[in-house]
Amino acid sequence: MSATAKTFIIGRGRDSDILLTHGSISRRHAELVVGTDGSAEIRDLQSSGGTFLLRGGKELPVTGVKLKPADVLRLSSYDISVKDLLSLLPEEKSVVKSRPVPVAAPVAVNAKSRMMRCACGSIKERGKPCPDCGT
């Protein structure tokens, strides 16, 4: 990639440039590098579930592969097309309002709170099944 390429962090964390709220995605899951010519590459950021390219019926590691719009990426157990992922790019990296914002309950701060963090990382109501993993 060229020196003018832009880098975007993909993950569940609030500081991610491309926010994906699926429970299997790490807070800082992968890094998407987009060149000025529209070319794109993705690198895994040592996520717990890994990042793979699904191409030609095979699951390939994402080491230095140029992405095509028709490619599908597997981020842990979440599949997304490159075309859909690129559509989530913010117009400007510093513009927060262009990113999708999840509607999430606050993290439990005290023992009397009704909300808690599930083992999968999602926030759920205490005593009820997790909406992401079902536990």
CA distance linking residue 125 with residue 64, whole number of Å:
41
Supply the pLDDT for residue 94. Answer: 37
CA dist list (Å): 34 to 70, 105, 117: 16, 33, 34
Domain boundaries in the chain? Answer: 6-94, 103-135
Q: Which of 31, 42, 32, 34 is nearest to 1 (CA)?
A: 34
Domain 6-94, second-level architecture: Sandwich (2.60)
pLDDT by residue (tens digit) across 80-97?
A: 999 999 898 887 543 333
For residue 75, give both structure tokens: 């981020």
Supply the pLDDT for residue 2. Answer: 59
What percentage of the chain exceeds 90 in pLDDT?
45
For residue 121, give both structure tokens: 């990382």
Mean pLDDT throughout 61-89? 89
pLDDT by residue (tens digit) across 92-126?
A: 543 333 445 455 544 444 445 577 777 777 777 77
